[in-house]
Amino acid sequence: MRLIIQVLIALVALRVPVDAQERAFQCDPRKKISLKEGEALIDKVQARYQDEKSIRAKFYQYSFLAALETSELSSGDVLFLKPGQMRWNYKEPEIQIFLVKDGTVWFYQAAERQVMVNEFEKVILSDLPVAFLMGLGNLRRDFTFKGGCRNNDGIVLDLRSLPKPEKSRESGEQSELAGFKLLIDPQTNFPRGAEVAHIGGNLTSILLAEVELGAKLDASMFEPVFPKGTDTNDLRTRPVEVR
C-alpha cells in the first residue's frame, strides 16, 4: 500500500525505455534557469493549474523500490476533478484502481479481487505533492525553488519542501520527501510530469500524455464501484460502503 501511495506523490507507453523517462527530468548545466525565472515560473504554474477544475490524461509511470532494488513501468489513464477527487486506472502491467474522494482512499487490485479502504489523511504521508495534484496545495506556500533548467521535454523545476508548521513538528510528523521535480510545458505553463524521491531511496516519475484540460467529467466517474465478489478490507475507523 505504501508503494502505491508513493507512486501518487508525489504527476510513452511501456515500450518506451526507462532512460527516456529518466531523461525527462535531467538538467543540462548549460541550460539552467535563474532563481528569478524559477520563482516566476512557480507562480505561473500554480495559477495555470488552479484554473483547471477537471483533467483527463494518459499516464506513464516508472517506479523504483530501493529495498528490493526493483523497478516497474506501468501505464493507464487518470482523472482529476478538483478539489479533492482523483482516479488512477492502471491498465499495465496489471489492472488496479486508485481512487480518492471525500477524504477516503480506495485501492482495488483485480488480480487479488480485493479493495482496501482507508482515510486519506492516514495513508498519504508525504502529502505535499499529492495535495498540489488534487488542487488542495499551493506551490508557492509549500515549496521553494531549488534549481531548474530547460531540456528537450520542457522546463524542469527542482523544488524543496518548506518546513512544516510548528504544530506538526511538535507532534513528531516528518516528511519522507527527499526531492520533488515538476516537468512544465513551456507553451502552457501546465505540469506534464513529476518526479518524487523519498528519503529511503524510492523514486517515482510520472509523465502525462494526451492531456485534456477542462474535460467533461461527472461525479459518477469517482464512485467506488467494483466488480461483484470483490473482498473489502476496510481500515477506516468508521465503515464505508463499497458497491
Question: Which CATH number goes with the domain that contains 28?
Answer: 2.50.20.10
What is the number of other CB atoms lying within 10 angstroms of the CB of residue 10? 28
- The grid coordinates of residue 40 equal 516566476
Q: How many domains would you assign to the chain?
A: 1
First to last CA, the chain: 21
Only one residue has cell 523497478, namely 71
Q: Which of 14-18, 32-36, 165-169 has the highest mean pLDDT?
A: 32-36
33-86 pLDDT per residue, tens: 999 999 999 999 988 888 888 999 999 888 888 888 888 888 999 999 987 888
Question: Is 125 within a domain?
Answer: yes
Question: Is 241 within a domain?
Answer: no
Question: Is 148 within a domain?
Answer: yes
Please state the rounded mean pLDDT for residues 151-175. Answer: 69
Question: Is 152 within a domain?
Answer: yes
Print the domain residue range for 168: 2-215
Degrees to nearest 5, angle at CA 55 with 205 and 189:
65
pLDDT at 49: 85
pLDDT at 113: 95
Strands 231-234 and 203-213: unpaired
Question: Is 230 within a domain?
Answer: no
Question: Is 169 within a domain?
Answer: yes
**Cβ distance 190 to 49 under 8 Å?**
yes
94-111 pLDDT per residue, tens: 999 999 998 899 999 999
Question: Is 225 within a domain?
Answer: no
Give the residues across from 157 on adjacent strands: 148, 182
Question: Is 234 within a domain?
Answer: no
99-148 pLDDT per residue, tens: 999 889 999 999 999 999 998 877 664 455 566 666 666 788 888 899 99
Global pTM exceeds 0.85: no
